Structure 1
Amino acid sequence: MKILRDYQIANAKKGIEILQERHLVYLQCEVRTGKTLMALEIAKIGGYGNVLFATKKKAISSIQKDYDDFGYKFDITIINDESLHTVVGDFDLVIHDEHHRFGSFPKPGIATKKFKERFSHLPMIFLSGTPHPESYSQVYHQFWISNFSPFAEFKNFYKWFAGLEFVKTEFDLGYGMVANYSNNEDTIYKFYSIQLRKLNKKDPKYTDKQIEIKVNQTKSIAAMHKANAKLMRIIDPYLIKQTQAEAGFTSSVNEKVIYCKMQDITYKLINKLKKDKVVRGKDEVILGDTAVKCMGKVHQLSSGTIKFESGNSAIIDDSKARFIRDKFTSYKIGIFYKFQSELDMLKQVYGDKLCTDLDTFNATDKNIALQIVSGREGISLSKADYLVYINIDFSSLSYWHSRDRLTTMDRKNNDIFWVFAEGGIEDYVYNAVIKKKDYTSSVFKKDFLS
């Protein structure tokens, strides 16, 4: 039987104290430090008899393996969030993995509402390495699901936002002014930058107005930091934090971008779409009449696939798939893809040398293909020699989470390869997400359409 590391045992002991006092504990621990084991150990120490563990579908088998390998005896039901409606039984503890998924705002998601309706009265353990990856506003609904939330005094997100004195901004989206509750520096800077651009330089009071806007921007940034600090003082007693460095990890992540020359048809389609905003074929149409649509279509085409206006999809150019197969033919790799058609393309090129489930990957010499968003959390690809990306996601969260799938305590080097099309969109996206910024349509317009 395996045993826990010293820091995992220490965190579990702290965790049960918090859970028994506050009925909630949040394990904010970096990937591969063992959040799952800490949560299971807390359940054991607390004497819980029937535990519900909600996670992502791809993580179920690894959690079950941890439960078995470490000899836990309490009853446990491990299930993915999407199947929670099928669960029956009376549980005395709920563990929720990748809990930042409940961080939508200003309104809670449907899954978040249903989770609250069913389990709000139970003690809970939350797991996430990044509770608020993009905004502190993501915190509210993560605690709102529990009757024991430290924000119980606030009727809803809006009351909470105002009560903590977060900074609200407003933007004209063309059909009216829309409030933005992100409360982060990027949004605040954007808000005041727009105000500055609207000033008329011929206005005699231009300089005074410019100074006033910049002063207000400084005040708003200061107010944001003050509100964020207030929030952290409230939730800190619920948190257990663990970094890889504190746990003794010494591995490094080595990233390399390699370029693939695509077929001429790919570049012709991208250039025509950028110029005309539409490409008409005999039976299908590629439409990019808005920045968002054009960005999405260029993104698809840069890796060799396309989804037509009809909803049908096609593989246009399998250059990237063949490039990856040929370059990494002697290695066992994990491949991250973005679009379903990319998986279809990989299957065509790799044949029976490719799988999509973790158990098969770990037990055979096959390579594995995982969708970036569904595969970025809760699983380990430690059996892979390398991680290879056939495409890149616009989300910085996807970048930071997925690249850690190789990490283990004993592994010293994690080698990651990004396969980008020569002259494609991927370089632009990469340069945004490594700075922890999402790639947006407004940035795309500057990069590709200006």
Structure 2
Amino acid sequence: AAIGGKDSMSGSFKDLDVPPTLVSFAIVPAKSGEVVSAEFKKPNSLVVLVDVPRTESLLPDLKLAKKQWAAVHRLMKQGRVLAASAVRNGGVGHTLARMSFGNRMGVALGAAPSTDFLVPKYGSIILEVESTVDLSELSYRILGKTQSNPVISWPGVSISIDELLKVNESVLEPIFPTKANEPAGEPLTFNFDTRLIHKPKIRVARPRVIIPVFPGSNCEYDTARAFNQAGAESEAIKRSQILMIPGGFSAGDEPDGSGKFIAAVLKSPVVRDATMDLLKSREGLILGICNGFQALIKTGLVPYGEIRDVDHHAPTLFYNYIGRHISRYAYTRVASVKSPWLSQMSVGQQHTIPFSHGEGRFVASPGMIDELARHGQIAFQYCDSVGQPSHKIEFNPNGSIHAVEGITSPCGRVLGKMGHSERRGRDVAKNIPGSKYQPLFEGGVDYFS
């Protein structure tokens, strides 16, 4: 066992202590379009084990392994492999379970497991392929077929995937919890269909965007690429039409809270005047994502539309209910189309968006929630797979009240949200289904045309 961090070989954690351990990693560059993820994709596919023979010393025969791997790679390049996973220390049984977890896709094995079902088979690979695929180049064994019934079964035995997943997650639950308390009651569903038809006095074909980078920012490149793809350019604030504050952990989320460093910069006289000039005089747009949303909240730009001192009546973003940082995808729904940022979306439209934060729980009084809803300022809500807002942690990862994910200023031209809409691309999170393209940046650029 190895316990430690990337800069440490102490090998200790609480009451555990192991000898200093050197762990090496091998990485190979590959075209993202040729990468195959591990989760089973659909029912009635063949599940095969591409095994690697062992030498007398019980090590993989590397000469034969290379031949097997090359044949698997050719099939992947041809798009014939639906799913693939290396068999590791848990053996074939553990690998099948992990491949089933992602889409709750079951496996019907053709026979009862052999005695080596849970024995490590380093170098071996389990593949999901269509039954018509030519596997003649491989030395393989058919294990069974995928099935829509979420169980791993063989004659006379059936094991629930949900039960296996529960056991699998319970091992580290005391150390890295996945469950937490949830807000009481059911969240309201907000729908605001009135669009902002106002356009700025000065139109531009390619609006300029300023993306300030603070110590700890880590989303500026994704953000710049998203705006460039939408047709914008980067520029200094006095010549810009859009201010975008990217995500990250500005100043290490110190002092005592996320976004305070950025908020302090925005409240400085020179920056405050320039920001309000962009918003008021030039009728520009402001966007804050994650750490940027936290800064917009702390400066009053959302929900008030101006930089001001906020009091206890203002909404805030607090520590996640689970008590730790979360990093995962979640469903969101569009709750309002008032903002120019949402001009290319419709109320009720769903997206699958990545989240990564420690303080993203939206908290506001009932009166503030009512005011935001009446003015169409609740832009996005966390929801389940059918678009229903939810307080459940599997859908609402931080426990936000009424599942609020993003809000706007009264004019709609300032938007803050927790989800990283900029983290997108053709092969980004290709193993996660759903609509991951949210035309947020395109809406902002279109406002100036």
Q: What's the TM-score, normalizing by structure 1? A: 0.28
CA radius of gyration, larger in: 2
**Richer in helix (by share):** 1
